Chains A and B, each alone.
Chain A
Amino acid sequence: MTTKDANGRDFRKGRSVALALLTSVVFAPISFAESPAVAPRAAIPGGTFESVLPPAPGVKAVTVAPFELDRTPVTNGQFAQFVRENPKWRRDRVARLFADERYLQHWRTPTEPDDTVERQPVTHVSWFAATAYCEARGARLPRWYEWEFAAAASETRADARKDDAWRQQILDWYSKSARGRLPDVGQTPPNFYGVRDLHGVVWEWVEDVGAMMVSGDNREQGDPDVKRFCGTGALSMEQKENYALLMRVAMLSSMQARYTSNTMGFRCAVDGAARKTSRVSAE
């Protein structure tokens, strides 16, 4: 009997328990609890595209190398597991340097969220905490261009950014109140790559959040300035019809690495297979 859970992962409850019992004799340390039928990360082939943040004046194309991206944002339940394994990230022990006062404030205890939010995306996490979580899982945060590349896909197309109906759908979410209860992860349909919840659920940290405010014009070397961003647009953001993405950029740009917010979550990424190999050989 095969059913699907919220992530769209097949899970065969009775069978996997029996299998786990059987296999645990042989492979005791291996946990089958985390072995879904569908890999937790989707492979994104990468490619060249035009970002809302051009890398430099006159340069439009951005090339993204192959990578793998979590299919859903990290949940409170998953983050609680990490916090229990790494107590220095408990809200009552974390250094203020790495997370502000509201870090994980919505949890019942320093190590346990309420059951009702177990499968909701974790929010109230700082960039430092999100980075530590991904590192503990052998991963990293996705970079902005990677995130944007994956988020350009609709359910049926790799790049749906010129599709008015799709764009409107995303805008509708941004216009909703942020005060409502967050949905559980995995409720939105998978996009072209099998990634869910990139739009419509939470904002998400990116690895290079500290680069988003910086001008791509090297004549302005050493002078990245918030005022220019707010005024004329330091990043000379293009494709101004992509309001939804620009709001995301503005949101990320306003966050310092220790800040937390009730709408900012994250997911993790790893380099694609080809890139991993070339890294190893370079070192």
Chain B
Amino acid sequence: MKYTVAILAALTMFTIAVPAAEPRTWPADSAYQLEATLTDQDGRAQSLDVYAGHSVLVTMFYSRCPATCPLIVETLRAIEQATPAAQRTQLRVLMISIDPEHDTVAALSALAKTRRIDTSRWTLARADAADVRKIAAILNIQYRLLPNGEYNHSNVITLVSPSGEIVRQSSVIGRVDQDLLAALGP
């Protein structure tokens, strides 16, 4: 009996350990193949596939941005609102900062509060500068630090499939992009 338990325990460990050790296999063009470390607004370490299994709207931003940041949040919210209820509950939002120097966990947390962001379905995240560049490269987002400390960057909302593939990108900000909405549809 003792041995059976030991063997069972060993088997269980084995079956659990093997998939954990092997990286998950994603489609060849899945963004989730990138090993990047994100830290969310609550200080938790996450990976880029934090919302794997869900459709995700991904955008890159920086919280000090005077004008467009609030607009991006409102645009994402508007897309969410416009999505049919059945899909809406499955939809997730991932906002990744391009400004690791200023967008600390505390700054992201404060932003989540001021913008009343529901962090059960949205994640605000930071990453170190090297990972930010890689994520931006995969999403084909260009950004540049200006001498005055602001960033110039492409405002792009990317719809990512449950397995990490880029489904559609939209640079429409300030209203709901109907084509993006259609891509989200059933």
The chain A residues found within 8 Å of chain B, CB to CB, are: 55-56, 59, 95-98, 127-128, 131, 135, 140, 207-208, 210-211, 213-218, 220-224, 256-258
Contact = CB atoms under 8 A, between A and B. Distances in A.
Interface of B: 28-31, 33-34, 65, 67-68, 130, 133-134, 136-138, 140-148, 150, 152-155, 173
Given A56-B147, A221-B67, A221-B68, A97 B138 contact: yes
A218 B155 contact: no
A210 B152 contact: no
A22 B31 CA distance: 49
Contacts of A211: 142-145
B147 A55 contact: yes
A210 B150 contact: no
B33 A97 contact: yes
A224 B144 CA distance: 10
B155 A131 contact: no
B13 to A, nearest CB: 26
B74 to A, nearest CB: 14
9 residue pairs, one from A and one from B, having the closest CB atoms: A257-B137, A214-B144, A211-B144, A222-B155, A96-B28, A95-B33, A210-B142, A214-B152, A55-B147
Nearest to A258: B137
Q: Is the interface of A mostly helix, strand, loop or mixed?
A: loop
Contact of A224 (B31, B137, B152): B152
7 contacts: A56-B146, A131-B130, A131-B133, A208-B133, A214-B143, A218-B150, A224-B153
Contact of B146 (A210, A216, A223): A216
Given A221-B68, A221-B152, A224-B152, A210 B137 contact: yes
Nearest to B155: A222
Given A98-B33, A127-B137, A257-B137, A59 B147 contact: yes
A257 B146 CA distance: 22
B15 to A, nearest CB: 25
A210 B143 contact: yes
A97 B153 contact: no
A210 B141 contact: yes
A88 B31 CA distance: 16
A213 B137 CA distance: 13
Contacts of B33: 95, 97-98
B158 to A, nearest CB: 14
